[in-house]
Structure 1
Amino acid sequence: MKNIYFPRRKSLSRRTFLRTAGASLALPYLDAMRPAFSAESEAPQPKRMVGINVDLGFMPERFFPKQSGRDYELSPYLQPLSDLRDDFTVFSGLHHPGTGGLHAADVCFLTGATHPTRPGFKNTLSLDQRIAQEVGHLTRFPSLSLRVGPGSKSLSFTADGVPLPAIERPSDVYRLLFMNGSAEQVQNQMQRLRDGRSLMDQFGDEIQSLQSRVGNADSQRLQQYFDSLRELEKRLEIQEAWSQRSKPKVDAPMPQDNTSPGGLIPKTQMLFDMARLALETDSTRAITVLINEDFNPTVDLPGVNAPHHALTHQSSQQESADELARIETAQMNCLAKLLRELRDVKENGVSLLDQTMVLQGSNIGNAARHDGLNLPVLLAGGGFKHGSHLSFDKKNNEPLANVFVSMLQNMGIEDESFSSSAGTMRGLET
């Protein structure tokens, strides 16, 4: 049974003022002014997002249903989610224009940036970071970037195309989310934050002075840079405030990291568990998980004898297809477990799954031939009207970014476009 946390704070008076000698300042209505159990003016439930990219994809013939609409028959890979049928929508006929079906496109999954293999490629803002721009200040961590597998790749990118480091070890995620430092460590962290903000102020003045001595193009570049510095200053201020507050306590023990090169499934499951705990404690509202198997291990599963990546290129052979199916079914079981556990957590009487959009897909439509069309994509939760297979033209695909716009608007962010999108996704309604 999961712990139930009850509010213990006293509410502020609606007539609270900030007072100083000879003056006073009335405050706007704050959450802290709401009585702990009052039904009056309840705050809206927070919306959240998880974006998962499985970089080797799924065998199309086992992932996609054969029928469209609500009365489709579950495909083999959707069978593990049979009890969640009304909680997810499966899509076919989606792509990211211009990204291709190469493994290098995994970093474009949540950005839609084009031509990732060209020299000088620069990524663009990722979906989770657009969400973090709007709601990241409401939680201790504006976003959380995770990765299954070694390397340095991430799904999260700033507006300048800079990747945010992804955490690989579940134990490191646990420490970040739930372990408080000593008083001295907290004080040192606060001082580092203050020093960082002081440096930003110092360089900001120099940049402003420099802007008056350069041409228009350079001035615009400097302004973008200066805007980034100001955004960093805001984040530093927020981090300093959070550093003085204790982290949430959870019953779950620190996970024991699986260090086996073939530990795809336990590693995925443990990171999914950490993601769930982060959402459950409202530590963040935007999470990404890159499942990176491009380094080609042999997955630790009964009946799997060949390296994972190699199996995707041999899936036309029955024996290889059967081995690959064991891996991909296990991956779908990991997703099903995450969705069930989110469904079982209640937040003010509403399931956490209803408040959390979970997007799982891949940058590859068919790994056997590096096809970037017809990406396997599934969206669960978030309060959408689910239960359908939304099928689009398999040759002239719809932009996957249309789903992103629907997700942004579901978060309360009224963007009309994102990356290659031309609007929201047809048939996906709330």
Structure 2
Amino acid sequence: MENSRRDPLNTRRAISRRTMLRGMGVGLALPLLNAMSPAARARASNAPRRMFAICNNLGLLPGEFFPADAGPGYTPSNYLKVLQEYRKDFTVFSGVSHPNVDGGHPADISFLTAAPHPASSSFRNTISIDQYIAERIGIQTRFPSLTLAVNTGARSLSWTGNGVSIPPEQSAAGVFRQMFMQGSPKEVEAKIAELDTGRSILDAVSERTVGPADRERLDQHFTSVRELEGRLQESKGWERKPKPVVKEPEPQDPSSPAQYMAKVANIYNLVRLAFETDSTRSVTLMLDSVSTPVVEIKGATISDGYHNLSHHGKSEAKLAQLRVIDSWHMRMLADLFKGLKGVQEDGETLLDRSMVLYGSNLGDANAHSTSNMPVLLAGGGFRHAGHLAFDRNQNYPLPNLFVSILQRMGSETAKFASSTGTMSGLEMTKA
């Protein structure tokens, strides 16, 4: 595109890279036009697999989450009692972690990448499992992936192959509109014009003359940015394609960070709708508990911020409040399972076809420990094994679970990050 007439950077000088990419839908991972082709649709399964990965970056109280015994007949812990109705639908893991992923709170950005030493000044992230999936099957849906968050700033679980963070969307209402609200013809054309402008901005940035230091920094991003640019033109076709129609109303976004649980509930329902309408097959959700103040919970009194409570120092007053918060997380997870099981798809439930990964980068938030991570996997066509207990002193590599998830999604990959194989003890069903 010619830049001599008008430099888009001059006309939008205040626009940041983050704002620009969010405006172009990158927070939702731009849709790919190839998915509209008959050949691509023919390759898609009538009942596809899906993955929803959730990270609560303050974790769960270990003694309340992990069962004391192992195997299919394990005795449920206090937290798992909340999920008792669905115990045949999930496996809980203990004694697992990401090798060499340390640093306490910063480890949340490695939850789905397993990239080592995230607190290091020289750290550069790697591809997250959701984006690995999106690169391979994203062409089959309107949105190759959804990157979502609650109460976070720029922190994200989703990272490209070049180690670039995908900004998360936090408004359930906004994502709902993008998925289901069809714009007027005028609005559609305005969106297409916006996409064209986005391409112009990228052109202008790449053609600018900059110094060696700036060029080195820009080069770290340009491969990913150009990949996104290549999707801008393709996304025009989706703008003119009718969106799915759902009966549920647009959710109302809570205004306060303290309404954390209401935000989580909105997102869970949104993901069910996204899977039910096959709008995407790969979703991540960062629950940024670290950035959450006092949490509002119906019928309970929480007197301190979530982060402060996690540093309980064995104070029974703080532990009691954490148990309430953690139990509510389990209740909402149970509601998510119920919603997914309530949708039939080709003789199975949506939970049967969808893997729900729930866990944390911290095994013990009080000690900032990244070993013995709490992890649970539900649904997805596995023969669930109850409680798979590994060595809590010499942890089993969690990336092995990611390999199993990728294979269940249809990928033939044998390795992801620091994996050594598939997850021992977790078998797939035949279908």
- TM-score of Structure 1 vs Structure 2, range by shorter chain: 0.7 to 0.9
Pick closer, same or farther for the CA change 1:229–1:174 going to 2, 3 Å.
Answer: closer
Number of aligned residues:
385
Is 1:144 the equivalent of 2:151?
Answer: no
What letter corresponds to residue 299 of structure 1 in structure 2?
V
Deviations 1:204-251 (A, max 9, x none): 9x89xxxxxxxxxx99x97x9776466335423431221111211111
Partner of 1:80: 82
Pick closer, same or farther for the CA change 1:325–1:203 going to 2, 3 Å.
Answer: closer
Alignment equivalent of 2:93, drawn from 91, 94, 105: 91
Partner of 1:22: none
Give SS of 2:189's match: helix
What letter corresponds to residue 389 of structure 2 in structure 1?
S
Once the two structures are superposed, the pairs formed by residues 126-275 of structure 1 within 5 Å of their partners are 126-194=128-196, 228=224, 231-275=227-271
1:42 and 1:129 map into 2 onto residues whose CA distance is: 18
Deviations 1:115-143 (A, max 9, x none): 11111321110010000001111111111
1:352 and 1:424 map into 2 onto residues whose CA distance is: 24
Of 364-373 and 41-50, the range deviating more from structure 2 = 41-50
Partner of 1:287: 283
Give SS of 2:162's match: coil
Deviations 1:284-315 (A, max 9, x none): 11000000011241111213222211111115
Partner of 1:300: 296
Pick closer, same or farther for the CA change 1:59–1:186 going to 2, 3 Å.
Answer: same
**Percent identity (aligned):** 44
Q: CA deviation at 1:326?
A: 0.2
Deviations 1:16-75 (A, max 9, x none): xxxxxxxxxxxx985888xxxxxxx99442110000000100010000001111110111
Partner of 1:374: 372
Partner of 1:108: 110
Bigger Rg, structure 1 or 2: 1
TM score, norm. by length of structure 1: 0.83
Give SS of 1:189's match: helix
Deviations 1:354-397 (A, max 9, x none): 11000000000001111111000000010000141111010110
Contact 1:89 1:386 in 2 (8 A): yes
Of Structure 1 and Structure 2, the greater helix share is in: 2
1:409 and 1:73 map into 2 onto residues whose CA distance is: 30
2:365 and 2:90 map into 1 onto residues whose CA distance is: 24
Partner of 2:351: 353
2:63 and 2:372 map into 1 onto residues whose CA distance is: 12
Alignment equivalent of 1:322, drawn from 308, 320, 323: 320
Partner of 1:401: 399
Deviations 1:396-422 (A, max 9, x none): 101111100000000011111111111
Runs of 5+ consecutive residues of structure 1 not aligned to the other structure: 1-27, 34-40, 208-217
Partner of 2:383: 385
Give SS of 2:356's match: strand
RMSD: 2.7
1:190 and 1:277 map into 2 onto residues whose CA distance is: 25
2:426 and 2:228 map into 1 onto residues whose CA distance is: 35
Alignment equivalent of 1:71, drawn from 70, 73, 96: 73
Contact 1:70 1:387 in 2 (8 A): yes
Q: CA deviation at 1:199?
A: 8.0
